[in-house]
Structure 1
């Protein structure tokens, strides 16, 4: 994200799912990445 912003001639909007460092770079997060954290097979099913 940092590199893309450096080479771009205009502002870039980032949207998706990411962590705190990405949000600090300007990411418009759909929801907290912690919502995706799973451990084990039972959480997936």
Structure 2
């Protein structure tokens, strides 16, 4: 259960970072895409734990 809470915090932090980078550099910038992939990995990990 604690791991779920930690992953939720990580997801929120990565989401905020992604939004900031996307606003600054645009959604097609490599930095934005990299952050998006990082967020995807964490979300997938969270989903795996839920099932």
Same fold (TM over 0.5): no
Question: Which structure carries more helix by proportion?
Answer: 2
**TM-score normalised by the shorter chain: which range applies?**
0.3 to 0.5
Rg larger in structure: 1
User: Larger relative CO (CA 8 A, sep 6+): 1 or 2?
Assistant: 2
Using the size of structure 1 for normalisation, the TM-score is: 0.33
Q: TM-score, normalised by structure 2?
A: 0.31
| Structure with greater strand share of residues | 1
